[in-house]
Structure 1
Amino acid sequence: MPARRDLARRLAAVADFDDPDPEREQYATPPDLAAHLVHRAGLRGDLARPVVDLGTGTGRLAIAAAIAGAPTVLGIEVDADAITIARENERAVLDDAAAPGHVYWLRGDVTVAPVPDRDAWATPPTVIANPPFGAQAGNRHADRAFLDTAGRIGAVSWTIHNAGSRAFVTSFAEDTGGTVTAAYASEIGLDRVFEFHDADTRTIEVELYRIEW
């Protein structure tokens, strides 16, 4: 597995959304945060499993998992344009250096993810995701649906949530048969993307959670 700094450097070449949708909260996962999550997952041995990236967007987390050694990676995304960019990113970032993982892309709604439940896998996967935080009025509790799918298909999950989510994530995991086994604080630096943003850059505090299901 590459060093976290080297992984972040390679992930900086991953292109972001051409025309992000505010209702879907399409903010790209920053390279440093993607490297942080995937490096932590690797240290825990979670990349020895197949990896499923829910709401992969333009593929940064999925590509990170492939670089870091996951045997197979599946990125699921509802936005067809984002999937096109993800495929282009795969060719640009993975083809210039041998990455041990094989990456596949699937267009689909992660809340009804068209993949088998956990018990149907020979080796149940590790799920990774940077779900919408539910900041938009029509998207409240969007991360709940991602966690629900993660608990249905995964043996373990790594997800990113807004700061202050510990009680919610812990309660949700316990209510659905899971256990939070690690939590980390981090930050996302966001450039101005949408017209309603009132600053050129802003920093959002976030939390990473590892859940065993």
Structure 2
Amino acid sequence: MATKSALTQQLGVVAGFDDPRVDLEQYRTPPELAAHLVHTADLQGDIEGRTVVDLGCGTGMLALAAALRGPETVVGLDIDPAPLSTARENERRVATSSSVAWVRGDATAAPLCPSGPTTVIMNPPFGAQTGNEHADRAFLSTTADIADVSYSIHNADSVDFVESFAADEGGEVTHAFAAEFELPRAFDHHDSDREEIDVEVFRIEW
């Protein structure tokens, strides 16, 4: 198994969004955070030999991180065709040993029915935009339907919500860790060139 730092370095070539959509809260997942999440999942036996689904994959950061760790199958799903095109280019840049199936579809009504052990990895929208509140709830609902384990990134202080939602769906949060998410200036409402926000990553068994 490659080290977490080696995985971070491999992901450094992954390009972000050319024209990010504010309504979809499109941000490139930082390579360091993606590597940390996938490395942790791999140590738990949740990547190698399994089907891995990246819901709302964007330009493919998490899906490509997983593809570097020997999964059976990787699927990247996103509703926006533009970042999926970038994701395919990123796959060539990263030169993963496992290929990724890039699928256009709505993560809140995913056209997927994976067979066998399935891990969902995702950086869902936090629901920070007006009219998009609780957007991560719909992503978790899909996850409960298709996965037996998941790793997801949420706003800091989301533990009560995530634990309650998981319990309602017959799941359980088994691990949680805090992290930082670096946001470059991408939209007009951003006041600074770069901002770091506190996030939490949760492992849930469904």
Q: What's the TM-score once normalised by structure 1's chain length? A: 0.94
Amino acid at match of 2:182: G
Alignment of 1:1-213 (within 5 A): 1-48=1-48, 49-94=50-95, 99-116=96-113, 121=115, 123-213=116-206
Aligned residue pair count: 205
Per-residue CA distance 1:104-142 (angstroms, 9 max, x = gap): 1000001110011x6xx1x13100000000000021100
Q: Secondary structure at the match of 1:169?
A: helix
Q: Supply the AA of the counterpart residue of 2:104.
A: R
Aligned residue identity for 2:66: A
- Residues 58-113 of structure 1, C-alpha deviation per residue, up to 9 Å, x if partnerless? 0010000001221210000000001100001101111xxxx332211000001110
Moved segments of 4+, more than 3 Å: none
Distance in structure 2 (CA, Å) of the matches to 1:101 and 1:174: 33
Note the residue ranges of structure 1 that are not aligned, 5 or more in a row: none
8 Å contact from structure 1 (residues 124, 153) kept in 2: no
Uncovered stretches (5+) of structure 2, i.e. residues with no partner: none
1:182-201 deviations in Å (ceiling 9; x for gaps): 00000011111111101111
Q: Deviations over 1:129-178 (max 9, x none)?
A: 00000000021100001100111000100000000000000000000010
> Percent same amino acid at aligned positions?
56
TM-score calculated relative to the size of structure 2: 0.97
Amino acid at match of 1:177: G
1:153 is aligned with what amino acid?
A: I
- CA shift, 1:16, in A, is 0.3
Q: Within 2, Cα distance between the matches of 1:46 and 1:100? A: 18
- Indicate the SS of the match to 1:46: coil
Judging by fraction of residues, say which structure has more helix: 1
